[in-house]
Structure 1
Amino acid sequence: MLQITGGFLKGRKVQPVPDPRTRYTSSMVRQALFSMVDVTDKSFLELFCGSAVVSLEAISRGARKAVAVDVSKLATKVARQNAEKLGVQLTVLCVDYRRFLEKNSESFDVAFIDPPYELGFVNEAVRLLSEKKVAETIVVEKSKREKIIVPTELEVLKERSYGDSDLVILRRRPV
């Protein structure tokens, strides 16, 4: 079981996705993320959501709206069950992130991506988020072994390492 680390849901349990291919964002990384990025009264997008623990944590910490996206039917089923069990409003969409970004017309204050490690999704997702101007702040959780290519429209605000994971916070450059 995963546990919400802060906010009004602190201590509540979240079911992980029962699939060995699904890697969850650790409580240490979630705490670090939300200590660096304030989501109070902001809209939050999570791509590659898995159990949606990061979106649920964002809601717990004051996000006014959250959307969680994953291509896995099992993951989105678990994400919906988690939101229902916690009694919170979370939009969960079962769609490939590329298709979502292609069709999406909504903008978000914060986008969080945590794709499977070392499969080439990081740079494609960052590029698409940047091109589509989906979010002001983009937070990337990636493998330490992956290099991130930062589009010219974005700048790196912070970069931290936690075990095998790097957390990179990008922001749209002022025009």
Structure 2
Amino acid sequence: MTRIIGGLAGGARLHVPVRGTRPTSERVREAIFSALDARSLCDGARVLDLFAGSGALGLEAASRGAESVVLVERDRAAAKVAIRNAETVAKAGATRALVEQVAVTPFLQRSGRSFDLVFIDPPYDQPDDELTAVLIDLGPLLSHPATVVVERAKKAGPLEPPGDLEVERTRNYGDTTLHYLTTTGAFADH
């Protein structure tokens, strides 16, 4: 069982899919949200959580004042868990997250929405070229400025973001690496 760390739903228990996902550890989530809160990046943000699993990252942002949250998870069982968790967080007064049960690429290609804060936590064995393709598809949906937090295995090495994104900083936590990306402005036409 995982829990929401802070905000309106702080302490709320979240369910985790039985199989097929690797939930972000509480320690790593605390680090992410400490960094985001230091810059007030959750408050009023339009949040997208890709490869959402239980939805813990997006729902933590909802608890901390996000204006809207979309959780994208293709696995049916995991999406059902994310829906249940979204209801739990909404009952505490936080924004109700929308759960999209669809693969990431089709979602990005048809979304048409704009996002300020994006979490990308793909399977650790996802090839670099697939992650790059996700970042390319995401680019036109990013507001300016926008922050993208990518969680990967430490052994995956450095991240070379495409187009409008640049690595602001990278932090390691055990076998997990967090890459904080920001927009440079090339897609700032919305």
> Is the TM value for this pair above 0.5?
yes
Measured after TM superposition, the shift of residue 163 of structure 1 is 0.9
What corresponds to 1:127 in structure 2?
A: 136
Q: Percent identity?
A: 37
CA pair 156-83 structure 1, distance change in 2 beyond 3 A: same
CA distance in 1 between counterparts of 2:125 and 2:115 reads: 26
- Any conservation in 1 of the 2:12–2:88 contact (CA below 8 Å)? no
What corresponds to 2:18 in structure 1?
A: 18
- Any conservation in 2 of the 1:76–1:93 contact (CA below 8 Å)? yes
Q: Normalization by structure 1: what TM-score? A: 0.93
What corresponds to 1:90 in structure 2?
A: 97
Q: Normalization by structure 2: what TM-score? A: 0.86
What corresponds to 2:31 in structure 1?
A: 32
Task: State whether structure 2 residue 170 is matched by structure 1 residue 171.
Answer: no
Matched AA of 1:18:
V
CA distance in 1 between counterparts of 2:120 and 2:3 reads: 19
**SS of corresponding position for 1:109:** strand
CA distance in 2 between counterparts of 1:32 and 1:152 reads: 27
CA distance in 2 between counterparts of 1:71 and 1:134 reads: 21
CA distance in 1 between counterparts of 2:33 and 2:152 reads: 17
CA distance in 1 between counterparts of 2:76 and 2:116 reads: 26
CA distance in 2 between counterparts of 1:70 and 1:174 reads: 28
Task: Report the number of matched residues.
Answer: 173
> Which of 55, 60, 63 is the aligned partner of 1:57?
60
CA distance in 2 between counterparts of 1:84 and 1:42 reads: 19
Matched AA of 1:109:
D
Q: Which runs of 5 or more residues in structure 1 are unaligned?
A: none
Cα RMSD of the aligned pairs, angstroms, is: 1.4
- Any conservation in 1 of the 2:115–2:141 contact (CA below 8 Å)? no
Q: Which whole-Å deviations, capped at 9, do the CAs of 1:26-61 have from their partners, x for residues lacking one?
A: 111111111222211111000000010111100111
What corresponds to 2:152 in structure 1?
A: 142
Q: Which runs of 5 or more residues in structure 2 are unaligned?
A: none
What corresponds to 1:154 in structure 2?
A: 165
Measured after TM superposition, the shift of residue 139 of structure 1 is 0.9
**SS of corresponding position for 1:145:** helix
Matched AA of 1:33:
I
